[in-house]
Structure 1
Amino acid sequence: MLYRRLGRSGLQLSALSFGAWVTFGQQVGRSLARDLLAMAYDHGINFFDNAEVYNHGVAETLMGDVLADLRFPRDSYCVSSKVYFGAVADPLPTQRGLSRKHVTEACHQALRRLRVEHLDLYFCHRPDPDTPVEETVAAMDTLVRQGKVLYWGTSEWPAEAIAEAHRVAKENHLYAPSMEQPQYNLLHRERVEREYASLYDTYGMGTTIWSPLASGLLTGKYNDGMPSDARLAQPGYEWLREAILEQGGDRIAKVRRLAPIAADLGVSMAQLAIAWCLVNPHVSTVMLGASKLEQLEQNLGALDVLPKLDAQVLQKIDQALA
């Protein structure tokens, strides 16, 4: 396993991490969750990502039970939660957002579900137009000073909102966000590579990126149609299917053009896509998701692909995506 600093902080995260989004408590039950986390940990993964909204808190409860069962030393791994959407199906106004009340109570609820005394990373899952950023930054600062959160960050915030949070923190001597959790993959590059470009040097922000495979699109599984057992074919994922497959007719064509590059390297499409994300030095960790042990094992092999991505191969990839 490779380890990278979380931006300018001293925290070192595994270059590959493991997340519970749309799997834990849905496709993945307790037995499989235990096997997946054990495999991840045995391969050096030290960061497990979660959120209050994932299956309305069930994902965090499941992960917490499994982590307690596996008895990993608490100082050997990091666990996260994210706050904004709430943990109930139809949240009341005080059960969502980034008010001091919800940020604080959601943190306490996540601690109970995950069965830990502190969150290593705590993210504001989206910007909240109804809450002053000063209130959110102050709430996060309080949780850090109380020892309930070690590092706080944002997820899918515009660059100007992140800069504003840093300004507020600096002017008021508060803890500022250390990291952002954005989507980043071969088909979704603009925000990480352009919009956030000034954040890395100015504020020392790290990134914990999600959807390196564009929800499976970059594995090539949809190149010849929709498999009946695919996640995007399942009821309840219509919104994800629309977002992934129907944003322009050339996305599948681009993925098809990447297939020969992966074949020439002797690697899977998934391994190529994950390794490509790690080429970016501003990526602190790439979060993997899996509903099968074989899937996780193969994706962990992306680390072996990274040395193969020289300038010539990267140029071929850019040409295929042009």
Structure 2
Amino acid sequence: MEFSGQVPERRLGADGPWVPALALGSWHTWDRMDRDEAADLVRTAVGRGARLFDVAHYDSGPHAEGAVTDVLFGEAVRAAGIERDRYLLCGKLWLWDYPAASFAEQLKVALGRIGTARADYVVAGDFLGETDLRAVVTDIAELVRAGRFTAWGVNNWSADDIGFACRFAADEGLVPPTFAQLKYSLARRSVPEGAPFAALCAREGLALQASDVLEGGILAGRLEPRRRIGADPGGIRDRIRAAYPEVERAAARFEATPAQLAIAYCLTHPAAANVLVGVSGLRQFEENLGALALLERHGGELRDAVSRLWLDRGVVDPGASWGTDAPSTPRT
């Protein structure tokens, strides 16, 4: 299925900025292309309206892997001749070494590696309940006040912890998070579609940014990815592999690819602002754009078509943090 138009935009939270519905991630992506192909991808993505790039410096906690994908992204942007005001940049602030590694210093290093002076948005990384959330919100709000970026979100936090951050920000007159970046796919729905997150979205106007939507490529047919992929909350990855033929059959009903079905499904979530996809070439990006045509033509039918593929139901707690099996400790 092909999509010939411009990528539409959605609001990143009730009071957040407008962003493209399809955005590009960076984990093990830009390091799988040569220089010319990376530049072509950046140029094409911006030209089609997919101008938001989620780019992180993977240097701490489980991500201390010496990756240079962020550096390569910056080189691709320069090779493509794309001026900074033509694209949106979302960075990450890691909590693993915080506060020893301050957010201001992390941001300075991350932006320096890309070769730019500013981000548009940031995501506060995985929270495991061992950090002072008051300090996190205060320090991020200070960077917003200083003009380092304009909006922020969280990555795989529990609904309780996000709610605490929103309440604390409101009480202190600080800028609250406007979106949550969550692991979400045809198979992994318990947290994004669970009652705790739904209530939070309704109460705080929070948006969903879906990540890991293709399960590292498994839901696109690459059943044994050769690169490192995300965590496996609930231990259901083998079940996802086994269910892939059903994904193929559902996609064929709509004359779409499995990847297009997986992306379009996530965009049917009522709070979804956009989907992050990781691509390793221009052809893959253009295929993923077809998800938008599928959504336009069959959006109302997609959920019923894949209703049996919810594989973490009853396995992962809907109130969980980081997709783990148990919720984090509530902050009151």
TM-score between the two structures when normalised by the length of structure 1: 0.85
**Which one of 50, 56, 65 corresponds to residue 75 of structure 2?**
65
List alignment gaps of at least 5 residues for structure 1: 86-95, 227-231
Report the Cα offset of residue 74 of structure 1: 2.8
| Percent identical | 28
Matched, 1:34 2:34: no
Report the Cα offset of residue 114 of structure 1: 2.3
Spell out, residue by residue over 1:169-224, the C-alpha distance to the aligned partner (whole angstroms, 9 max, x if none): 112111111111111110111111113111212111122211111111111332xx
C-alpha contact 1:5 1:284 (8 A) present in aligned 2: yes
Q: For 1:145 and 1:249, locate their aligned partners in 2 and report how far apart those are by CA, in whole Å.
A: 46
Alignment correspondent of 2:213: 212
Q: For 1:233 and 1:64, locate their aligned partners in 2 and report how far apart those are by CA, in whole Å.
A: 25
Q: For 2:68 and 2:236, locate their aligned partners in 1 and report how far apart those are by CA, in whole Å.
A: 30
Matched, 1:277 2:266: yes
Aligned residues: 299
Alignment correspondent of 2:57: 52
C-alpha contact 1:61 1:113 (8 A) present in aligned 2: yes
Spell out, residue by residue over 1:8-27, the C-alpha distance to the aligned partner (whole angstroms, 9 max, x if none): 124111110111111223x2
Identify if the C-alpha distance between structure 1 residues 246 and 179 changes in structure 2 by more than 3 Å, giving closer, same or farther.
closer
Alignment correspondent of 2:177: 177
Q: Which amino acid aligns with 2:245?
A: R
Q: Which amino acid aligns with 1:14?
A: P
Alignment correspondent of 2:143: 143
Report the Cα offset of residue 309 of structure 1: 2.4
Identify if the C-alpha distance between structure 1 residues 163 and 304 changes in structure 2 by more than 3 Å, giving closer, same or farther.
same
Q: 1:222-233 to 2 correspondence within 5 Å?
A: 222=223, 226=224, 232-233=225-226
Matched, 1:199 2:200: yes
Report the Cα offset of residue 285 of structure 1: 0.8
Report the Cα offset of residue 151 of structure 1: 0.8
Q: For 2:41 and 2:14, locate their aligned partners in 1 and report how far apart those are by CA, in whole Å.
A: 30
Matched, 1:6 2:7: no
C-alpha contact 1:83 1:97 (8 A) present in aligned 2: no
Q: For 1:80 and 1:242, locate their aligned partners in 2 and report how far apart those are by CA, in whole Å.
A: 21
Identify if the C-alpha distance between structure 1 residues 70 and 307 changes in structure 2 by more than 3 Å, giving closer, same or farther.
same
Report the Cα offset of residue 36 of structure 1: 1.5
Q: For 1:244 and 1:155, locate their aligned partners in 2 and report how far apart those are by CA, in whole Å.
A: 15
Q: Which amino acid aligns with 2:85?
A: D
C-alpha contact 2:181 2:209 (8 A) present in aligned 1: yes
C-alpha contact 1:57 1:113 (8 A) present in aligned 2: no
C-alpha contact 1:48 1:80 (8 A) present in aligned 2: yes
C-alpha contact 2:46 2:86 (8 A) present in aligned 1: no
C-alpha contact 1:169 1:176 (8 A) present in aligned 2: yes
Alignment correspondent of 1:125: 125
Alignment correspondent of 2:188: 188
List alignment gaps of at least 5 residues for structure 2: 1-6, 312-332
Alignment correspondent of 1:300: 289
**Which one of 268, 289, 292 corresponds to residue 278 of structure 2?**
289
What SS does structure 2 have at the residue aligned with 1:17?
Answer: strand
Q: Which amino acid aligns with 1:219?
A: A
Aligned Cα RMSD in Å?
A: 2.4
Report the Cα offset of residue 310 of structure 1: 4.8
TM-score between the two structures when normalised by the length of structure 2: 0.82
